[in-house]
Structures are given as C-alpha cells and as structure tokens.
C-alpha cells in the first residue's frame, strides 16, 4: 500500500478515490491534486511511482492543511469556543448538538444511549 503523510491509501482503488482516505481531502481536492501533479485519475494507487507519491506528498505538505495538523486545528477551534463560553462552546461541553438540531427526539449520536428514568407510580397505588 502506498503511504502518503503517514496514511496507507488503498491499492486497488483509483487514485482519485484513494486520496480521499486522507483526513481533509474530499472529492474536489482529490481532483485538484491529480491535475496539479499530472497524475491520471483512473490510475490505480498501486501503479503510482515513487516520484508521483513524492510530488503528492510535497504538494500536500506545502499548500494544504490535512491529517494531524488539520485535526489539531479543529480541536483548537473547539477548545477556543469552550474557553470563551459562547453558546456553541457550551453545547460542545455538554455533549449536545451544536448546530441547532432538535434534542427532544433524535440527537442520539451526540447524547449517547438512552438513560431510562423510572416512571411515576399510578394514582391507584398511592391509596
């Protein structure tokens, strides 16, 4: 498997798809990278030469924020929101949806599994 910026990209997929396994590279940026380095999009990742891999790595390193640097930047942005105490920072701190989604139902991804609370006893049982 070819390695770019410490990430193993799949052998059997086209270069355009394989590049998207790197954090921070989507379909558009993968296409731009192929154009700028002169690599064919349909070429399989296993067929890339060392020279082409070096071109990709140097271009990504010099001109784009990807992988570890991008993850660090995102975490710093979230930490900044928490520190200044803005609404979005409070939502991050509480582990609730940040972008205005409803929480009465849904939001299970952010809130985690349901925590069942015991129901009230019926009126008949109180007598």
Quote the tokens at residue 4.
């770019």
Local confidence band at 126 (pLDDT 50, 70, 90 cut-offs): low
Quote the tokens at residue 107.
């939001």
- Global confidence as pTM: 0.78
pLDDT tens-digit readout, 88-111? 999 999 999 999 999 999 999 999
Yes or no: say if 86 and 30 are a contact pair by the CB < 8 Å rule: no
Yes or no: say if 65 and 73 are a contact pair by the CB < 8 Å rule: yes
């Amino acid at each position: 498997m070819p390695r770019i910026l410490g990430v193993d990209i799949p052998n059997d997929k086209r270069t355009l798809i394989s590049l998207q396994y790197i954090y921070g590279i989507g379909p558009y940026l993968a296409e731009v990278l192929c154009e700028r380095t002169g690599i064919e999009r349909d070429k399989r990742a296993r067929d890339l030469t060392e020279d082409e891999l070096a071109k990709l790595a140097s271009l990504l390193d010099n001109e784009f924020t990807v992988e570890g640097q991008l993850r660090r930047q995102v975490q710093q942005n979230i930490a900044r929101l928490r520190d200044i105490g803005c609404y979005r920072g409070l939502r991050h701190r509480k582990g609730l949806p940040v972008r205005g989604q409803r929480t009465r139902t849904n939001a299970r991804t952010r809130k985690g599994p349901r925590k069942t609370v015991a129901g009230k006893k019926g009126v008949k049982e109180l007598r």
